Amino acid sequence: MKCLLLLRRLILSGLATSAIAACSAAFAQSGEVTWRIGYFSGGLPLPDNAPPLALRQALRDLGYVEGRNVLYIARAAELKPERFAEIAQEFAALKPNVLIAVGYVSAQAARLAAPTMPIVVFYAGDPVATGMVASLARPGANVTGVSDLSAELSAKRLELLKEIQPDAGRIAVMWNARNPAMTIRYREIERAAGALKITVQPVAVRDPGDFDAAFAELSRERPDAIMVVSDALTTSNQARVLDYAAQNKVPAMYEVGSMVRGGGLMSYGPRADDTFRRAAVYVDRILKGARPADLPMEQPTEYELVINLKAARSLGVTIPPTLFLRADEVIQ
């Protein structure tokens, strides 16, 4: 445990490599292999500068116990574009046994910096469409993980929005236009909207400074509803998005349940815990000798519809009984 605390204190310094080596040597005396698992996200770091607790628990269930046989090396780009390449180079030098990359930009930066380092990715959109992997069945190279069913989900989310707002003819879509994977998702929403006779109002953001202008645009041309595409940028600015929707009484659909638990109206998407469990299984298989190139990428199988009735009442939205009964979680 002392080694773990030392590593966390030095993780952002040039002494991190030495700390990892010292800790690994100390753990080796116990007779167990010490695995080094990297975690690379584009958003803000967690309070304990470690991977999410649910992910660590999923790995613990597979036998990877922090302080005994695993060291976590966590980095967060903090929404700064220039940090992605810098962090990727750090991981290339630190050489973790496997790197967990959250989001397309993190995974792509790591892939370019360390073409042979095993990478497990999730929340990165459609990896085939972005060119990250050759195919879901045979990823090739050094990347595998959990893929998104983004095209199907985009249509489903629009249909759910239409259920609570049947007369919605124009829906604003907010997404991070700096993220190629999320731009692909925006295009998929455009295609799905066309089939439903819905006009899409594009609201592109590229950094935290763009949100005020985006909200001003929404106020000038008020849409019937909003759909928010989730990545590190939009989720890190969750409070601002939720406040705008609430104050202006605009129904909004989100991709992750945390936005609804934070006060949003409705979300539909993969369960986070299920995604973490699947990512943990990939890590386990790689540490036991499998090559990412040979591990087919999986798609989520557990989805959740979360509805916030308090938000619905505040917005003046009526949730149809049929939709209410289909919800996996209802926040009163």
Query: What would the pLDDT profile of 266-287 be if each residue is shown by its tens digit?
Result: 999 999 999 999 999 999 999 9
Residue with the bigger pLDDT between 15 and 306: it is: 306
Residue at token pair 């605009």: 250
SS3 31: coil
Instruction: Residues 150-270+303-331: name the CATH superfamily.
Output: Response regulator (3.40.50.2300)
Dist CA 154 CA 132 (whole Å): 21
pLDDT category at 12 given cuts 50, 70, 90 is: very low
| pLDDT value at 4 more than 50 | no
pLDDT of residue 222: 95
Please answer whether residues 223 and 171 qualify as being in contact, where contact means their C-beta atoms are separated by less than 8 angstroms. Answer: yes
CA 240 to each of CA 212, 245, 246, 263, 315: distance values in angstroms, whole numbers, following the listed order: 9, 9, 10, 11, 17
| pLDDT value at 19 more than 60 | no
Query: What would the pLDDT profile of 48-104 be if each residue is shown by its tens digit?
Result: 889 999 999 999 999 999 989 999 999 999 999 999 999 999 999 999 999 999 999
Instruction: Residues 36-147+272-294: name the CATH superfamily.
Output: Response regulator (3.40.50.2300)
243-250 contact pairs (CB < 8 A, 24+)? 244/215, 244/218, 245/315, 246/311, 246/314, 246/315, 248/218, 248/219, 248/222, 249/314, 249/315, 249/316, 250/218, 250/222, 250/223, 250/225, 250/226, 250/315
How far apart are the two ends of the chain, measured CA to CA in Å?
Answer: 42
| Two domains, one topology: 36-147+272-294 and 150-270+303-331 | yes
- Domain spans in the chain, listed from the N-terminal domain onward: 36-147+272-294, 150-270+303-331
Query: What would the pLDDT profile of 168-177 be if each residue is shown by its tens digit?
Result: 999 999 999 9
